[in-house]
């Protein structure tokens, strides 16, 4: 029995890998941080994997390449599950197409979010109107941002 300390071979040594650090979420909002109710107008650009980002509101509503908001893929079969192989193929092809049109590289996602920011509505008020109202209030109070 040997009393010499065990030596690890290079193959057995644990790899020295640095943790991966990635910014995964960006907030886009026309209103300044101190504006009341600002959070309701926030658009989020969120990493979804494989170098792709989604532009979202209300956690589930995604912005498409066409500039329209969507709550998700709508299969023509409605609420029922696809049953046949053809229906399943149709469902998956449609869902894949929907996902592809609602995920972007970071630059495109941020650009789309910036374009959409003034038009975000909360009730009947757009972010642009909320900003104008906020700035008018600040001016009336003798403050400026």
Which tokens belong to 123? 């009730």
112 versus 1: the higher-pLDDT residue is 112
What local confidence, expressed as pLDDT, does residue 30 receive?
97
99 versus 60: the higher-pLDDT residue is 99
**Using one digit for the tens of pLDDT, what is the confidence trace for 103-145?**
999 999 999 999 999 999 999 999 999 999 999 999 999 875 5
Rounded-to-integer distance, Cα 107 and Cα 39, Å: 23
- Does residue 12 surpass a pLDDT of 70? no
CB 55 within 8 A of CB 101: no
Q: Report CA torsion sign: 127, 131, 132, 137.
A: positive
What local confidence, expressed as pLDDT, does residue 48 receive?
95
What local confidence, expressed as pLDDT, does residue 24 receive?
95
Rounded-to-integer distance, Cα 48 and Cα 45, Å: 9
**Using one digit for the tens of pLDDT, what is the confidence trace for 23-63?**
899 999 999 999 999 999 999 999 999 999 999 998 889 99
């Amino acid at each position: 029995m040997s009393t010499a300390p065990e030596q690890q071979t290079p193959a057995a040594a644990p790899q020295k890998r640095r943790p991966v650090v990635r910014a995964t979420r960006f907030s886009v909002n026309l209103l300044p941080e101190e504006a009341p109710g600002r959070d309701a107008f926030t658009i989020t650009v969120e990493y979804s994997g494989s170098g792709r980002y989604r532009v979202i509101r209300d956690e589930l509503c995604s912005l498409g390449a066409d500039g329209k908001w969507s709550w998700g893929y709508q299969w023509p079969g409605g609420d029922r599950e696809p049953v046949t192989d053809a229906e399943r193929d149709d469902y998956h092809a449609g869902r894949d197409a929907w996902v592809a049109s609602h995920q972007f590289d970071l630059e495109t996602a941020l650009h789309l979010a910036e374009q959409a920011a003034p038009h975000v509505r909360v009730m009947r008020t757009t972010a642009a109107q909320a900003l104008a109202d906020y700035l008018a209030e600040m001016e009336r109070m003798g403050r400026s941002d």
